[in-house]
Structure formats: C-alpha cells, structure tokens
Structure 1
Amino acid sequence: MSVEGTTERVLRLLALLQRRSSWTATELAEQLRVTDRSVRRDVERLRALGYPVHATPGAGGGYRLGAGTRLPPLLLDDEEAIATAVSLRLASAGTVAGAGEAALRALAKLDQVMPPRLRAEVRAVHGATDTLVGPGVQIDAELLVTLARACRDAVRVRFRYAARDGAERERTAEPVRLVTTGRRWYLMAWDVDREDWRTFRLDRMREPAATGWHFRPREHPDPVGYVQRSVAESPYRHVARLRVHATPERVRDMVPPQVGRVEPDPADGWCTLHLAADHLDWLAVYVARLERFDVQILEPPELREAVGALARRLTAMARP
C-alpha cells in the first residue's frame, strides 16, 4: 500500500479510537478492512506520533485511547471543526478567567490549518454573529477543571465557602453537576455535613481540592431545575407567586432563569411565576415588565402595595 493509503488508514484508525472508549483488534480490522497485524502496526504508528494507545491483552481486551504526557494533534471532521471554531469564538467573551485569551490562541491555530472551504463557513458564521457580554462573574479555570473532574470521577471535594453573611467555613461535598446561568457558575452537590442537596456559587469558593474519597452516586434531582429553584427562591427575604395569563414559554422569554421559575397552571392559558428578591421594589419592577399580560399577585400581599407605589412613581415621571 502507498504512503498516502497508509496515512489515510492511520487517520481512520484514530477517528475510530476517538469515537468509542474501547475496541477489539478484530473490530478495528473489520472497520478498516485489514488484518489484525496491520492494526497492530498502525497502532504503533499512532504511538510514535504521540497518541497514547493502550492495549489490554486477553479475551476481553482491546485498544483504547488514553491521556498522554503531551497533547497530540486532534482529528476533527467537518462538523466538529466548525462547531469547535464557533465555540472558541463564544468562549473568547465568556466568564472563565483567562479563557478568552486562550480561546483566541486556539482559534488562531485552528484557523491556520483549516481547509479553505471550512474556513469560509466559519467566517460566515462569525461575520453574522455578535456577542452581547453581560456583567458576569469570572471564574478561575483551574477551579472549573477541579470540580468537573470530581463530578466525572465521583470524588468528594473540600473547599472554603463564603456564606451570604460573609462568614467562611469549610465544606465537604459530593459533586454532581456544574450549572451556568450565563452570569454565574453553580455546583449542585450533596453536602456531606448537612446530609442534603445544596447549590454552591463558584465565585464564593476558595482552595478547592479533591479528597481522593470516591463515593457511590446517589439519585438526585434534575441539576438544572434544582439550581434554578435555589437561585430564584431560597436565598432571598421575599418570595412571590403570581398567575400570568400567558404560556410558560412567553413568560420565560421575559424572565431569566436565575430570576424566576415558571410552571404550567391547571387553568388553560395561564402559568404560575415564582420570583424572589431581598427587596419588594425589585419584585415590583419585574411585575411591571409583565404589563402586557393579565397578572394576579397571589402572595405576598405586600407586593400589591409595592406595585401600586411603583405605578404612582411612574405616573409622576410621565407628567410634563
């Protein structure tokens, strides 16, 4: 076989190893239409290029792609290359500290080796897209990596955590999932000391460390829904409940998930909105944003007074 044919086959082998966690030699030989001996030779070629291909002997053994001492070249198909380039562009304006510069460097490298036809598609997407950057809180990338690994490996983490009153205490948790609202990052985890599920803001964490203690994952609530409820309700002095004559989708378009939680209502055409804040005036502003719909304030009664006071102030502002 020619050098070009061998190179193409090696690249196909790499793509297969990246697609699945483990392959037997027979399976790879069937996919590549070669002998087991050719598979072994191609595996050695990948190892020479820096790809850590691990082999497990025996009847249940096979080949798998592991982590190496250095980062070898990645093999991306057309869709993966476009998705990666677009994601790097978005990450360059994200909320992870230091990620913006790193994302731009990676994007420059990818653009340099990308075929012209793909580069044109990526640039078309970039040219038609602007990113509206909000006042997000930047998170250290190392903190994200530590927590993500702990979630993946089911390992307990220990960290210093600042409560709302500023007091800092050591916490031990069994992490489940990282959730971002766009402005902030949260960790949903089982609090070992309190024996309950908790939500932790990453910008309040310090000195995170994996303990090496593996835990058996337990059944847990939906992470996104749990974090949304925690962020939108539990930490605040006032929790409001409203009925809105609109579909849940229309209300969600107007109320960010970190601000309110929307539920369907048994009555046709209505939904229930839960809002929370430390000040009633702030809740009144969000009620005013729903002025195009019929709204019933169920609780607390004090919110009705705050909405009335806001209406009077707005009326005074509208006078010549």
Structure 2
Amino acid sequence: MDGRYEESKVVALVRLLGAIDEGCHDFDALRDAVSETRPPGTRTLRRYLQELAAAGFPWYYERERRCYRFPEGYSLKALRLRPRELLGLMALGRVGAALGGAFVGEVENLLERLVGQGDRQAPAVTVRMAEVELGEAARAVLATLQEGERASRRLRFRYADKRGAISERSVEPYGFIVSLGRVYLVAKDLHRRAIRTFAVDSVAEARLEPNVFVRPADFDLEAYAGSSIAGVMHDGELAEVTVRFAPRVAKAAAQARVVRERRVSHLAGGACEIVYRVASVDELVRWVLGWGEEAEIVAPPAARERAGAIARALAVRYRKKPPVRSARQ
C-alpha cells in the first residue's frame, strides 16, 4: 500500500514538473495538469511545489505572464525519469540541504548536470529569467538568494531601499517574482516580522546563515503577487477599493485583470463598478488616475482623499509654466 501511494505521488510530481517546464500555467492550471479527474487540493499542491524547490528544481512565479516556470536554459523535456529515479533525485537534494556546507554545492552541481542533459544543452552557468537583465554582481547575489530559498536557509544581506537608505536584513526566503523587468525576492523579514519584497539588484553582500526554517504551508506565492498590480507592492492588510468606470472604457476596465481578486458589476447605461481587493491602496489609486476622467474611486473615503490630493497637486503643477532647461556649459 505504501509503495503504491509513493508511486502515485511521484507520478503527480512528474506531471507537475512537466507543467512547470511548459512555462504557461497558473496555480489552478497546475492542479489540472497533475490530474484532471482528481486534482490535488491547494495545500497539497503547495507542498509539492515546496518539495520540488527543496530538491533543487528552481521554479519561480512570473508576474507578467501569470505562470510558474523554470529559468531559461533549464529544461526537463528529454529527461525521461522513472518514478524511482525522480524520487532519488528529490532525496538527493534534501540530503544535500541537510548536510549543508560544501555538500550543498556539490549536490546542486550534480543536479544541474543531470537536468542540463535533459535538452542536451550545456548546464546553465548563469540564470536568465524572462527578459530580465542583471549585472554580474546582481547575478551572484541572485544565485545566493536562490540557494537559500532552495535549501530553506536564512539569509542576511545589505539592502538599499528606493530612498537610498541602507539597512542590514535577516530574512527567510519564500520565493521570487519577476515584474516589470526586475527580479524580486519574497521573504519574511525577521526584524520587522512581516513578509517583504526585495529588489535583487538592490541587494548586496548576501550570505547564507546556518539556521534553517519551514515556510508556512498556507503561503501562496501566486496569491501574494496577485494582490498587487506590479506584484510587489504590499502595505500590510488587504483592502477593498471600489472604482466606477464610464461607459466608453467599461469594457476595457472589466477585461483588465490587474489583480487576482475583484468583483465586476455592470450598471445601467453601460458603466461598471469594480471592487478590487489589493495589498496597496496607493498603488491602485495611481493606476486609476491613469484612466483620467473616465474613472472615479467610489470607496473607501481614504482612497478618494488620496486620489484628490494627487489630482490637486497635479493641477497646481500644470497651471505653472514648464521649467526652463538651462543650456549646458
């Protein structure tokens, strides 16, 4: 009985790997790819994804395409694994992570060579995700962050925020998001006791710590990214914002799935109201202002006030003459 259960689980993992390798499936589509008749539950699929990551398979969630995939140059298409062979690979990855130190690198090198043979290409030396361009220093940082995420080990690094302030961070890495041409680490900031996103190209001096951790079973990387338009803006608790769109843009607004959770109500005359559930109200306010006078924030009052404040500031700016550019000496 245990053997049959183990076999069926490995079949599910093989199908999951194949679906990730296709690079076009979101979370629900991955469930169907594992089994159309009896798809795994949400918690089960999250556990499967964690097990693959722990075994050294570097999947990540790409925000723009809303799908799970492997980095470019990493393929499994021609790597025909029997169930026991896949189980062995996953066990090897977990053993390497448990041993730590130099063993981690040796096991990862072996897994890279094995997977690199899958499409008869040389193993990837650098990781290239989507259309992201990283400098040499950022690529080295990314490799360290990925190692920490795969091995479930804490990381420490120096981080420069968007204001240029530099701070030391100790985090537990949960995964990666690619958004608007940049790679972001999603991790629990141990000092702030909250999940944060860190732009990889703003990270320096990344290093592994000996401490290991267990990622919460209920953490959903896709849901986390899906509550923000860019995938990386999070202010804390989720909030609902209601926006009314004029008839001339209502259809386009209804089709713009900028966040995962929303409710669309069609009104008389062709207008519509959409309730967005978002992680950053300010991010949504700025996006709504991009629709000009064709969109209006209805609720909550704080979001209306924020939109009004930005609009008044813009009105003052545009009543003035544009600044005169001084000629270069």
* TM superposition score normalised by structure 2: 0.46
For the pair shown, the structure with the greater C-alpha radius of gyration is 1
Q: Identify which of structures 1 and 2 has the higher relative contact order when contacts are C-alpha pairs closer than 8 Å and 6+ apart.
A: 2
**TM-score (structure 1 length as normaliser):** 0.47
